Amino acid sequence: MSSGSEVQFFAGIPFAKPPVGNLRFEKPEPVEPWNGTLEAVSFGKQCIQFSGMEEGEMLEISSEDCLTMNIARPSTPSDDPLGYPVVVFIYGGGFSTGSSNFYHTVDANERIATRGIILVTFNYRLGPFGFYTTNDERAPGNYGLWDQVQALKFVQEVIADFGGNPGQVTIFGASAGGGSTSWLTFSKAAKGLFKRAMPLCGTAQSFWARNVQGNTRSSERLEERLNCDQKENPKNCLKRKTVEEILKVDPGILILPDTINFLSWSPQPDGEVVPFEDFSEALKQVKKTDSLYGINSQEDLSFTLDSGFLKDLAKYFPVQVSNASEFSRSEMEAGMDFLSEMEVGMDFLLRENGAFGTKASEAIRRIVAFYETEADKYSHHAFLQAYAQFFSDIHFNVAFRRETRLKSAANHGKVFVYLHDYVAPKNKNEFIDGSGHCMEISYLFGNIFFTEELDDPGYRKSMNQVLDLFESFVKTGIPRTSQFELPKVTAENVPFLHISSESKLEADLFADREQFWDKIVTDFGFDWITNRRVNSSIKDEL
């Protein structure tokens, strides 16, 4: 434990048995009680991951034995006899990279714990260790999500001993962590383990958060390359392989080039932690949860331009920075044309010859025309920015809007929304305007993705607004700032706080985007938001 004048910090607390040996590719088991005092003074190792780091270097800081938790609390007891409210953060990283250790910064501890809130972070398994599957009962996958459930169970067991209120737990996460947070609100396995949720820059309704095709492809490749594909139970064969052997055959690619289906690993429906039922039916089986959803104005900024995530150069997605200045309408159209014929589900691709089959030309013409009109809104690099908006809509925005309206329509607790749109001058992108993927997370955790501009008045103002929303929602369930109280989302309307240099309340976020893509589904029978063919209403389907 480390302590300052206002915050005490505990690190590396085991919350499950090490998932090694026969426990690899299995649900986590509760940690066995230990004798004596645990010296919670240093982080545990991060989970094995595939970040492009050299194998030896990565293994120095990573391990399969990684299921540990960190807790920061105010140094004085709460005036409330029930204890302090608790937030549990789930990190992102495309379900392939990430660590709780990155987020327990001095800034995070001070910005959160000094507001009278206990901050909990934890590790969960990643890549094949977290999401390998045989698509049946032998290896249903989702071990990383089960780790999250086990962490929440452990919080319920011990947080009172740290001065926290187990009845006032809020889960929140960003990117893949936002998708995970969203999934937990639909999951029977997590029922009763939290009171509120904040999915940020990621939702379960986005196809990348439930990519059965990608998981299957990655899992089959793993079996084949390790000579386990002909075994009766390939999972048992893979359990005998070393970490080094698995590292050598997993691609280590966070973003796959030239495909909308851009993640190698993710959760997928299993009937337990991720429901088979449609979203509306799933909500009937879990407790009501108040939710605060957050998203950025150009989420795909970091992905539309090659930011170093790729091993090989892409032709259409992401765009090479060297080509960004000259990106034209024809390149935007070519990219959309190419991607519509890509891996939108291997079985469907082989049978139907592409997402829209024989209607592909007309569908692409309509999509290009819509985003050509959107390009008129931009003052520079117009088609590149419209291309980024296209991917932001497909990967984040439309799913975000659908999910918030769905929960409101189902009367599944109160739902609130903010749009973050502030970028400090020194952090602005040369080619694409707007706030990129999960940029507001730095308001909570400090210098994680970029250098904070604390001397910039606009940055300080936006940071304080996000922190005020965060604190008020965690403590009361109603997000507010000194100027604004967020209105509730309804089944028809998504009002939101637009956080910018001059923040204001606005109505119906992304309504035109959702209407456009819903019409594409109706007319052409394929939904790029969920990456599947659709013959009926798309609103609730898994």
* 2: pLDDT strictly greater than 80: no
Average pLDDT over residues 439-459: 86
In degrees and rounded to multiples of 5, residue 460 shows phi and psi of -60, -40
What tokens were used for 14? 């085991």
Domain extent for 135: 2-305+396-506
259 located within any domain: yes
pTM of the model: 0.91
512 located within any domain: no
Percent of the chain with pLDDT over 90: 62
Q: Which residues contact 512 (CB under 8 A, 6 or more apart)?
A: none
Average pLDDT over residues 477-490: 97
**C-alpha span between 275 and 187 (Å, rounded):** 6
For 350-406, what is each residue's pLDDT tens digit? 234 467 878 888 888 888 889 888 888 888 888 888 888 998 999 999 999 999 999
What is the structure's pLDDT at 58? Answer: 73
Residue 268's pLDDT band, with cuts at 50, 70 and 90, is very high
Residue 539's pLDDT band, with cuts at 50, 70 and 90, is very low
DSSP string, 273-325: SS-SS-HHHHHTTS---EEEEEEETTTTHHHHB--S--SS--SSSSBPGGGGG
Average pLDDT, rounded, for the chain: 87
What is the structure's pLDDT at 89? Answer: 98
254 located within any domain: yes
**How many structural domains is the chain composed of?**
1
What tokens were used for 493? 């309307």
Residue 304's pLDDT band, with cuts at 50, 70 and 90, is confident
Cα 331 vs. chain centroid, distance in angstroms? 29
Sign of the C-alpha dihedral, residues 458, 416, 179, 29? positive
- Regarding beta strands 164-174 and 196-200, do their DSSP bridges make them parallel or antiparallel, or are they unpaired? parallel
What is the structure's pLDDT at 93? Answer: 92
Q: Are 141 and 133 in contact (CB under 8 A)?
A: yes
What is the structure's pLDDT at 354? Answer: 66
41 located within any domain: yes
Q: How far apart are the first and last CA of the chain?
A: 44
367 located within any domain: no
534 located within any domain: no
What is the structure's pLDDT at 348? Answer: 33
**Which helix (H) or strand (E) segment is 467 a member of?**
helix 457-476
CA atoms within 13 A on the CB side of 281: 9
Which DSSP category does 427 fall into?
Answer: G
CATH classification of the domain holding 192: 3.40.50.1820
For 35-92, what is each residue's pLDDT tens digit? 888 888 899 999 998 766 666 677 788 999 999 999 999 999 999 999 999 999 999 9
**Which helix (H) or strand (E) segment is 463 a member of?**
helix 457-476
What is the structure's pLDDT at 364? Answer: 83
Q: Are 323 and 338 in contact (CB under 8 A)?
A: no
What is the structure's pLDDT at 205? Answer: 94
Number of H helices, E strands in the chain: 18, 15
321 located within any domain: no
What is the structure's pLDDT at 345? Answer: 29
**C-alpha span between 42 and 62 (Å, rounded):** 14
Task: Identify the three-state secondary structure at position 420.
Answer: strand
What is the structure's pLDDT at 531? Answer: 84
For 318-354, what is each residue's pLDDT tens digit? 676 766 766 666 665 666 665 554 333 223 322 344 6
Higher pLDDT, residue 260 or 236: 236
353 located within any domain: no
What is the structure's pLDDT at 153? Answer: 99
Higher pLDDT, residue 454 or 537: 454
Query: What size, in residues, is the chain?
Result: 542
